[in-house]
């Protein structure tokens, strides 16, 4: 028997995620059984639970896109993995349970240089940040980029990776409290608390090479105004809850706009390429170039308490289930 966090109807995570006990199935010949040791709570999990991706999500389901564990058993047809291997099972949800049976091809090997909690938070945010910087905008020393929600977990990672690449970004935060959390080399800091703050903060700072936006809404246009012709606007989140206005594209015909979703990249790439990128990210974590702060840890069976602590997402570290 094992504990599982199960969603049987879409809605607010604090209301619809239930903890259940379930028998372990017979392990398939072509799968591995991973004993999960720790799991992250990420915005992508909450969005999926809400029903935003109902067209590709079948009820009931077990949430959790980021979980770390150790291979416990291998089916008879599995080669190349053995019990005891540290892995991140990716490409599917199902991390909010004690044991996950999964495709061995999509178990990323975790180097021993990472602690268990470092491993648990080494995939969603660090991979997203690394890919946006290196695959989307082609980070080069001396580039000028702006990052909003810069005091968030992924904002901190973006700043660390940018610094490692010879770039001091413009950091945009929403409060004085968030300002105190910023670390790293920065070209400037903008505290965007009220209408007009962002435009005023960017005045005289136009000619940016790239904007990394996870907020959306009307402020996206203000950020795009600061880009040079041919600059990159990468949109990867919607913390404001407001879509980018339709006028955005007509007003900025000379920039490169793109969305980034880690899931789409992972599903489009060969596993070898994903593993290669992950090893690069893991090396940055092991060398302390980037880090993820852990705020609280709850046992899986207290998933309700964990969700109430984690939501709404804010600066100050990740909440884990372990």
Query: For the chain, which residues make up each domain, given as ranges?
Result: 2-122+292-321, 131-262
> Could you say which DSSP state residue 53 is in?
T
Query: Fold identical between 2-122+292-321 and 131-262?
Result: no
Look at residue 156 in the predicted model and tell me its pLDDT: 96
The residue behind tokens 């991973």 is: 34
Look at residue 314 in the predicted model and tell me its pLDDT: 77
For 75, the token pair is: 């089916």
Say what angle helices 271-286 and 124-131 make with each other, to 10 degrees: 100
Contact 209, 229 (CB under 8 A): no
The residue behind tokens 């999960």 is: 36
**Hey, which bits of the chain come out as E strands?**
2-7, 17-22, 32-40, 67-74, 86-89, 99-102, 107-109, 145-148, 170-173, 188-191, 208-213, 227-235, 256-259, 294-298, 318-321
C-alpha dihedral sign at 138, 140, 146, 150: positive
Alpha carbon distance 11, 281 (integer Å)? 33
For 204, the token pair is: 């005289």
Look at residue 222 in the predicted model and tell me its pLDDT: 97
| CA atoms within 13 A of residue 315's CA, in its CB half-sphere | 20
* Cis peptide bond prior to 208, omega within 30° of 0: no
Look at residue 316 in the predicted model and tell me its pLDDT: 79
Helices (H) and strands (E) in the chain, counts: 12, 15
Q: Would you give per-residue pLDDT tens digits along the chain (322 residues)?
A: 999 999 999 999 999 999 999 999 999 999 999 999 999 999 899 999 999 888 889 999 999 999 999 999 999 999 999 999 999 999 999 999 999 999 999 999 999 999 999 999 999 999 999 999 999 999 999 999 999 999 999 999 999 999 999 999 999 999 998 999 999 999 999 999 998 999 999 999 999 999 999 999 999 999 999 999 999 999 999 888 889 999 999 999 999 999 999 999 999 999 999 999 999 999 999 999 999 999 999 999 999 999 999 998 877 789 999 9
pTM across the whole model: 0.94
Alpha carbon distance 8, 189 (integer Å)? 43
DSSP of 257-271, one letter per residue?
EEE--HHHHHHHS-H
**Pairing relationship of beta strands 256-259 and 208-213 according to DSSP bridges:** unpaired
CATH, domain range 2-122+292-321: 3.90.180.10
Look at residue 241 in the predicted model and tell me its pLDDT: 82
Tell me the fold of 131-262: Rossmann fold (3.40.50)
Alpha carbon distance 135, 155 (integer Å)? 17
For 49, the token pair is: 């639970």
| CA atoms within 13 A of residue 143's CA, in its CB half-sphere | 23
Of 39, 50, 60, 42, the residue nearest 14 (C-alpha): 50
């Amino acid at each position: 028997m094992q504990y599982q966090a199960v969603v049987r109807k879409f809605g607010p995570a604090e209301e619809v995620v239930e903890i259940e006990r379930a028998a372990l199935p017979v392990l398939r010949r072509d799968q591995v059984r991973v004993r999960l040791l720790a799991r992250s709570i990420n915005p992508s999990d909450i969005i999926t639970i809400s029903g935003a991706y109902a067209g590709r999500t079948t009820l009931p389901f077990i949430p959790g896109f980021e979980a770390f564990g150790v291979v416990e058993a291998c089916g008879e047809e599995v080669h190349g993995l053995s019990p005891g291997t540290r892995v991140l099972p990716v490409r599917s949800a199902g991390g909010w349970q004690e044991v996950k049976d999964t495709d061995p091809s999509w178990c990323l090997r975790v180097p021993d240089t990472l602690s268990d909690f470092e491993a648990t938070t080494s995939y969603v945010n660090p991979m997203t940040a690394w890919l946006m910087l290196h695959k989307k905008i082609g980070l080069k020393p001396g580039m000028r980029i702006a990052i909003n929600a810069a005091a968030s977990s992924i904002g901190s990672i973006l700043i660390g990776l940018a610094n490692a690449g010879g770039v001091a970004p413009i950091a945009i935060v929403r409060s004085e409290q968030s300002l105190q959390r910023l670390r790293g080399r920065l070209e400037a800091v903008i505290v965007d608390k009220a209408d007009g703050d962002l435009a005023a903060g960017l005045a005289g700072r136009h000619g940016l090479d790239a904007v990394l936006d996870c907020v959306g809404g009307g402020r996206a246009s203000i950020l795009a105004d600061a880009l040079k012709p041919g600059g990159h606007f990468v949109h990867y989140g919607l913390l404001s809850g407001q879509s980018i206005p339709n006028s955005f594209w007509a007003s900025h015909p000379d920039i490169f706009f793109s969305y980034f979703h880690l899931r789409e990249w992972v599903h489009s790439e060969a596993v070898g390429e994903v593993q290669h990128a992950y090893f690069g990210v893991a090396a940055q974590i092991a060398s302390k170039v980037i880090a993820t702060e852990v705020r609280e840890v709850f046992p899986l069976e207290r998933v309700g308490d964990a969700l109430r602590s984690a939501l709404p997402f804010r600066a100050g570290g990740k909440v884990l289930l372990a």
